Amino acid sequence: MTGRKATLGFGAVFLAATGLAGAATADELVIGTAGPLTGQYAIFGEQMVRGAEMAVADINAAGGVLGKTLVLELGDDACEAKQAVAVANQMANKGIAFMAGHFCSSTSIPASEVYYEEDIVQISPASTNPTLTEQGFDNVFRVCGRDDQQGEMAGQFLAKNFAGKRFAVLHDKTAYGKGLADETKKALNANGIQEVMYEAYTAGEKDYTALVSKLKAANIEVIYVGGYHTEAGLIVRQARQQGLQAQLVSGDALVTEEFWSITGDAGEGTLFSFSPDPAKNPEAADVVARFLDQGYRPEGYTLYTYAAIQVFAQAAEMAGTTDADKVIGVLRGKTFDTVFGTIGFDAKGDVSAPGYVFYEWKNGNYDYTDM
């Protein structure tokens, strides 16, 4: 009897966790967004969901796609590869025509195989690891930059502004973090800077005091972190506690206000690279204003997710169908009017958008750096 009770409990949890698929009707077109809706990177999942919901509402208000109403399905991959593949399969079962996702490179890459096999167009708003579009899958696109661009640019920037300093390069062993750190290290070395320390840490931990002491003992002056904002934030906070005043430099995963809520004043002066702020584009003014009306600041990848869905909607209209092969042809050949302005894709599926610039955290806000 007691045994059966436990089984029932498990069943209920399992059902609640997976959710039940809703069937699409003939005048509806199902699209999906997947990212870390839970877990320590949930803030990025929120950015995606906000962007996607706004895009779907706007497109539906303007008459939908090919006369059909867009319906948004959300998937939670918690930034874990295994879960991402499961989510991708669920999404395929729900019959999505398009995936605006995933967020983490370590999930977008394994999930892209599923979308490739199932003939679903995938546009990642945020996954910057080069591998994503180098696998030869013709259905995979991204509206963000690539880490080889980002690392190259970061390396040059650091070589110019911090020449002669003692560098440490750290990464979190994820596809995104390690990829970005290695590209930056390559560019640093090419520009004549040899890092003093190269270390990997484990994401999801709280204690980086031992690492910080090690950095301090090596007299590190510039710390480059390939990783997400939670760990970068904890590292700089613990560094300041131990009196290590090194400059923290990182990548596009720091573009969230949550970074400052972790670091407080310890985050002052932190530098990170990201594309020129899309919220400043004149094309985005109207959308940004409506986000602000909702009391939400469209940070980081919010507008990227919005743009990914815009691109798909326009491509489907141009193709006159949601058939993946036709849409893919349009995506490669045409340009699209998005919140970033007009964008197109190259043969690999990478976007023709502008590259990267450096931002600086100051007083709880970030803006282009003066360096």
Partner 1 sequence: MAYFLQQLINGVTLGSIYGLIAIGYTMVYGIIGMINFAHGEIYMIGAFLAVLCFSMLGMAGVTWVPLALVLVLLVAMVFTSAYGWAVERVAYRPLRGSQRLAALISAIGMSLVLQNYVLLTQGAGLKTLQPIVSGGFVVYDAPDFVVTLSYIQIIILVLTVVLMAAFASVIARTALGRAQRACEQDRGMALLLGIDVDRTISLTFVMGAGLAAVAGVMVALYYGVIDFFMGFIAGLKAFTAAVLGGIGSLPGAMLGGMLLGMVEAFWSGYFSVEYKDVAAFGILVLVLIFRPTGLLGQPEIEKV
- State the minimum distance, in angstroms, from the CB of residue 2 to partner 1: 6
- State the minimum distance, in angstroms, from the CB of residue 337 to partner 1: 33
Task: By CB under 8 A, tell whether 48 contacts partner 1.
Answer: no
Measured CA to CA, the distance from residue 190 to residue 106 in angstroms comes to: 27
136/243 with CB nearer partner 1: 243
Which residue stretches of 24-71 are H helix?
Answer: 42-61
Q: Mutual orientation of helices 209-217 and 229-241 as an angle, nearest 10°?
A: 60
Task: By CB under 8 A, tell whether 370 contacts partner 1.
Answer: no
Bridge partner residues of 33 (DSSP): 74, 100
* Sole window of 32-40, 59-67, 115-123, 361-369 interacting with partner 1 (rule: CB under 8 A): 32-40
Task: By CB under 8 A, tell whether 285 contacts partner 1.
Answer: no
**Which residue from 24, 71, 196, 262 is in contact with partner 1, where contact means CB under 8 A?**
262
- State the minimum distance, in angstroms, from the CB of residue 55 to partner 1: 22
Measured CA to CA, the distance from residue 235 to residue 256 in angstroms comes to: 16
Backbone angles phi, psi at 128, to 5 degrees: -105, -5
The count of C-alpha atoms lying within 13 angstroms of the C-alpha of 39, restricted to the half-sphere facing its C-beta, is 18
Task: By CB under 8 A, tell whether 214 contacts partner 1.
Answer: yes
Task: By CB under 8 A, tell whether 363 contacts partner 1.
Answer: no
Q: Check if the beta carbon of residue 86 is closer than 8 Å to that of residue 29.
A: no
219 by DSSP, 3-state: which?
coil
89/213 with CB nearer partner 1: 213
**Which residue from 206, 245, 293, 363 is in contact with partner 1, where contact means CB under 8 A?**
206
Q: Check if the beta carbon of residue 229 is closer than 8 Å to that of residue 262.
A: yes
215/279 with CB nearer partner 1: 215
**Is residue 360 classed exposed, middle or buried when 0-12, 13-18 and 19+ CB atoms within 10 A define those classes?**
middle
Task: By CB under 8 A, tell whether 46 contacts partner 1.
Answer: yes
* Sole window of 67-75, 104-112, 208-216, 290-298 interacting with partner 1 (rule: CB under 8 A): 208-216
- State the minimum distance, in angstroms, from the CB of residue 1 to partner 1: 10
Distances from the Cα of 67 to the Cα of 71, 320, 331, 334, angstroms: 13, 10, 20, 21
Task: By CB under 8 A, tell whether 6 contacts partner 1.
Answer: yes
102 by DSSP, 3-state: which?
coil
**Which residue from 89, 213, 321, 369 is in contact with partner 1, where contact means CB under 8 A?**
213
* Sole window of 109-117, 239-247, 271-279, 361-369 interacting with partner 1 (rule: CB under 8 A): 239-247
Q: Which amino acid, one-letter code, is at 325?
A: D
Task: By CB under 8 A, tell whether 237 contacts partner 1.
Answer: yes
Report residue 55 as tokens: 């895009």
Report residue 48 as tokens: 């995606």
Q: Which residues make up the interface to partner 1 (CB under 8 A)?
A: 2-3, 6, 9-10, 13, 16-17, 37-40, 42-43, 45-46, 173, 199-202, 204-207, 209-211, 213-214, 216-217, 230, 233-234, 237-238, 241-243, 258, 261-262, 264
